[in-house]
Amino acid sequence: DKCQQACNNTEGGFRCSCNSGLYLDTDGQSCRATKACISKINCQHECANVNDIDVCFCPKGQKLSSDSLNCEDVDLCKANVCQEGCIEIMDNTSMSCTCNLG
């Protein structure tokens, strides 16, 4: 998965998309701010001005922490969607269910 934020399946392939306030860059994979941040907040990753409010954004596989500035890994297995076991793959960007032998 090469999309910076979201990947949407299409017939015969995929298309990347970005969170609100960001737009898809010309490479078709990266997300960029529609407007630069006005204030001097110290976002760990990307910052964009959305509806005149500066907002921090995180890369795929991470979510904004409670301080709204830093990013933390998403625990994909925490949702307990697997019946037996779960392993995270590729820097927390996807997960796979595992089965017991027998």
Q: Are strands 71-73 and 85-89 parallel, antiparallel or unpaired?
A: unpaired
For the stretch 2-23, pLDDT in tens is: 888 888 888 888 899 988 778 8
Residue 14 falls inside a structural domain? yes
Residue 1 lies in a domain: no
Q: How does the average pLDDT of the chain come out, rounded?
A: 78
Q: Which residues pair with 49 in a beta bridge?
A: 54
* 41 assigned to some structural domain: yes
For residue 55, give the 3-state DSSP assignment.
strand
Would residue 78 count as lying in a domain? yes
Q: What's the domain range around 84?
A: 6-98
In a domain, 61, yes or no: yes
Q: Which residue has the higher pLDDT, 65 or 91?
A: 65
Residue identified by tokens 């299409």 is 10
How many structural domains is the chain composed of?
1
